[in-house]
């Protein structure tokens, strides 16, 4: 007997029909899905973007907790700055000159490293840091030990009376608009010797005329000259440069002859190549050799050395002579630029005689201040 047919459960269609295209049926097409970013590709059920975010937040959280738990001591960097400044002052000779002549530049402005003291104190006040305030004591003590005597030397030095000879040196500036006024100011100093640097051919006659009354003896070699109340002899040019910028003369002082040198060393420049000093340093070596070979025991060197006595490059000269300003000067005696002097590049150096006092004269139309010294022979 045949069994009755039962309703069959529909199974998968072995040949499914393709899904109708809505566009074909007249319906609008759905917008295309944006491309999937690699950061949002699912890996299982976790997104890689989420992992990166959680890791970043965890690292930041740990850094924050560590900073709060172990905070950096307040004023530490300021204290380190003060300590570095204090060490740089006495150890400046160990700063290498091989890279951009940095050592020479630091020595030119060496006294100004004391500005680390007010800078440190100012930062300490703003940050309310006792550590930084105490740290300022270190450069202050070092500066006072090195420069205190010079800074407050006016109490003992300056324009003290005495001495057998008064000398003046001045870079008059070749573009000086009023040579006559400059010469008159120098004559008013009542110096026995006047050394001038940076004389131009056009201005030299004006200086000769203005100084003739008080100084019957004078000699000019190129851009430098010497005016004297006493007779001169043996005057000659010193070939320290390709053109005349130095001379040597014997001055017949009543108490015996004195060798007088007048020099204007080559200028230095601060450029992309650093502190360019090659020409000056070569001239310094030649001048030092001439000083060493001079037969007279009493020597005076006056001029614009385009460097301070702290500059290691001037050692061929400063090893043989000592500065009147450093010995008996009033203050630092900065001479350049005249409007706001920052460095003493105009100097009076001596050997075999004793400086009694040293100072700067009032400004003239030049861009340098004149320097003066009284000397005991």
pLDDT tens digits for range 171-192: 999 999 999 999 999 999 999 9
pLDDT at residue 285, as a whole number: 96
Per-domain residue ranges of the chain: 76-151, 153-376
CATH of domain 153-376: 3.60.10.10
pLDDT at residue 4, as a whole number: 47
Query: How far is Cα 203 from Cα 200, in angstroms, rounded to an integer?
Result: 5
User: Hey, is 340 helix, strand or coil?
Assistant: coil
Ordered alpha helix ranges (H), the chain: 48-69, 76-88, 102-108, 116-127, 130-135, 137-151, 179-187, 204-211, 278-293, 315-318, 324-328
pLDDT at residue 272, as a whole number: 55
pLDDT at residue 88, as a whole number: 96
**Spatial CB neighbours of 282, under 8 Å, sequence gap ≥ 6:** 266
Query: How far is Cα 269 from Cα 266, in angstroms, rounded to an integer?
Result: 10
Q: Which residues in the chain land under pLDDT 70?
A: 1-49, 62-74, 153-160, 269-276
């Amino acid at each position: 007997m045949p069994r009755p047919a039962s309703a069959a459960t529909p199974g998968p269609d072995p040949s499914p029909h393709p899904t109708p295209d809505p566009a074909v049926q007249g319906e609008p097409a759905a917008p295309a899905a944006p491309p999937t970013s690699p950061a949002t590709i699912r890996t299982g059920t976790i997104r890689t973007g989420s992992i990166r975010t959680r890791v970043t937040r965890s690292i930041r959280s740990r850094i924050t907790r560590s900073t709060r738990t172990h905070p950096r001591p307040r004023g530490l960097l300021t204290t380190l700055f003060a300590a570095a400044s204090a060490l740089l002052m006495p150890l400046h000779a160990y700063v290498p000159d091989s890279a951009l002549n940095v050592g020479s530049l630091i020595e030119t402005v060496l006294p100004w490293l004391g500005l680390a003291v007010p800078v440190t104190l100012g930062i300490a006040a703003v940050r309310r840091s006792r550590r930084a305030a105490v740290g300022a004591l270190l450069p202050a003590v070092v500066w006072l030990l090195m420069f205190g005597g010079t800074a407050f030397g006016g109490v003992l030095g300056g324009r003290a009376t005495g001495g057998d000879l008064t000398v003046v040196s001045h870079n008059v500036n070749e573009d000086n608009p009023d040579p006559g006024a400059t010469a008159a100011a120098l004559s008013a100093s009542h110096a026995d010797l006047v050394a001038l640097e940076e004389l131009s051919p056009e201005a030299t006659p004006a200086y000769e005329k203005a100084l003739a009354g008080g100084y019957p003896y004078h000699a000019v070699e190129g851009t430098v000259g010497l005016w004297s109340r006493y007779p001169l002899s043996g005057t000659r040019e010193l070939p320290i440069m390709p053109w005349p910028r130095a001379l040597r003369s014997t001055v017949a002082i009543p108490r015996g002859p004195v060798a007088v040198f007048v020099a204007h060393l080559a200028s230095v420049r601060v450029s992309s190549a650093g502190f360019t000093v090659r020409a000056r340093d070569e001239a310094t070596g030649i001048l030092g050799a001439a000083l060493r070979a001079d037969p007279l025991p009493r020597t005076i060197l006056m001029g614009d050395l385009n460097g301070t006595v702290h500059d290691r490059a001037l050692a061929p000269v400063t090893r043989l002579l000592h500065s009147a300003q450093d010995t008996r000067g009033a203050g630092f005696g900065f001479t350049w630029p005249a409007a706001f002097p920052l460095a003493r590049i105009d100097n009076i150096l001596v050997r075999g005689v004793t400086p009694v006092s040293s100072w700067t004269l009032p400004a003239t139309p030049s861009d340098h201040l004149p320097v003066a010294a009284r000397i005991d022979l």
